[in-house]
Amino acid sequence: MAARGDPPEGTPDGNPGGDEDEYRSVVFDESFIRAARLQEFSARERMGDRSHAVRRRDPADRPDLGSSTPRRGSVQVLLLVLVIAVAFGTAVYVGVRPPYRPPLTRSAEPLRMTVIPLAPAGAVPGDNPDSLLRRSPAAKFPTGASGIPLPPSRRTPHFTENEVMTALTTAKDYLVASSVDPDVLTGAERRSVRTLLDPDQLAQFDQSFADPADDGRHAPAGWLVRFDPAKVTLAEPAVRVRGTLRYAESAAGTIDVLSDHTFVYALRPAGQPAERDASLFTVRRTLHFRFDREDLPRHRAELLISQVQAGPQVCSNGSPSTLRPLLAGGRATPAGPAGTDPYATGPPTAGLCGVLDSRAQPGA
């Protein structure tokens, strides 16, 4: 007996489901129909003058294709732009970024110093500070840090212009702290000078003040200018300065700065009124700084060589912790420094002394 819905004569070929089972897996859903490339004309359209029963559909009229194709193209374009931007950014970064610099393990050398006292040929002139300076070679010297101008900085084969300027600025800061700062000049502190030194030189710096020695390594005057506040005071706080700074690249990893400056101080005896008892004291400092790539960003310097000429003062052996200037009316002792014994053991010592040219003193 035929099932409900089957033809009375049964399904063809005796199949219960007929051809329906053969095409059961093919589902003509709405999306399939809308994505078809061909579309049959409607009955009304076929009544017109049509040579074909079907027409080709425009992709823009097919929602499934018209929306997916532009979206896929937009994503591809966006990815391409992103890849180009990343490649360009990488090229710029590699081009601007400084080359890899291996860490340095070089140790700073000990400071080599020479301190030469200059003895006057006669009595030290005395007067008020303005009169003395006006009659001295320092009459037109600038005062303080303005007397230490920085030269134009240019890049070197291995250092940028900014790195050269950093080296020059650090050298100037050291000169100001060690030769102009009133607290350092009067012995109140020396930390501002110490912090500008390479850590490898700090032990030598500290020993120079704890145990001064005339051995070319541990004279305090090799590091800074300092007077004994119990004997000397500043009659004029402004220090007259004139000199030059030069730089050169000594090696691929170091840059050297050479300074040559003359500092003029107006001094008077401690505890006495400054009327007509002031005198001038002149110090010429020639320093050789060296900077490596570790020193520059840390604003510190390696001090290689220090040459100091200072007067008027008495020639004497030993290395006092402060300079000992002769004040107004003072005279150098006729006898020179004691002899040097070549048979002595221990660190070599030698009494170095020069004569202060009379033209370096204020005129009449």
Whether 291 and 147 have beta carbons less than 8 Å apart is answered as no
Q: How far is C-alpha 132 from the geometric centre of its chain's CA atoms?
A: 41
Instruction: Quote the tokens at residue 179.
Output: 């030769």
Question: Is pLDDT at 358 greater than 70 in this prediction?
Answer: yes
pLDDT at 9: 55
Question: Is pLDDT at 245 greater than 50 in this prediction?
Answer: yes
Report the range of poorest mean pLDDT among 12-26, 96-110, 208-222.
12-26
246 strand-pairing partners: 258
Which is it for the CA torsion 62, 64, 68, 69, positive or negative? Answer: negative
pLDDT at 257: 97
pLDDT tens-digit map of 314-332: 887 556 778 999 999 998 8
pLDDT tens-digit map of 306-315: 999 999 998 8
Q: Which residue type is seen at 156?
A: T
Report the range of poorest mean pLDDT among 1-15, 178-192, 318-332.
1-15
Whether 257 and 167 have beta carbons less than 8 Å apart is answered as yes
DSSP 304-349: EEEEEEEESB---SS--SSB-B--TT----SS-PPPP-TT--SS--
Alpha carbon distance 248, 254 (integer Å): 9
Residue showing tokens 């300076």: 133
Q: How confident is the model at residue 351 (pLDDT cuts 50, 70, 90)?
A: low
pLDDT at 60: 56
Alpha carbon distance 11, 1 (integer Å): 12
Q: How confident is the model at residue 52 (pLDDT cuts 50, 70, 90)?
A: low
How many residues in the chain? 364
* Torsion region of 362: left, alpha or beta (phi above 0 gives left; psi -120 to 50 gives alpha): beta
Question: Is pLDDT at 163 greater than 90 in this prediction?
Answer: yes
Instruction: Quote the tokens at residue 185.
Output: 């000049």
Alpha carbon distance 271, 354 (integer Å): 30
Global pTM reads: 0.69
Alpha carbon distance 349, 364 (integer Å): 38
Contacts 24+ apart (CB under 8 A), 210-216: 212/318, 212/319, 212/320, 212/321, 213/319, 213/347, 213/349, 214/317, 214/318, 214/319, 214/349, 214/350, 214/351, 215/319, 215/347, 215/348, 215/349, 216/112, 216/113, 216/114, 216/348
Alpha carbon distance 245, 148 (integer Å): 8
Alpha carbon distance 252, 255 (integer Å): 8
Tell me if residue 269 falls in helix, strand or coil.
Answer: strand
Question: Is pLDDT at 335 greater than 50 in this prediction?
Answer: no
Mean pLDDT of the chain: 81
pLDDT at 16: 52
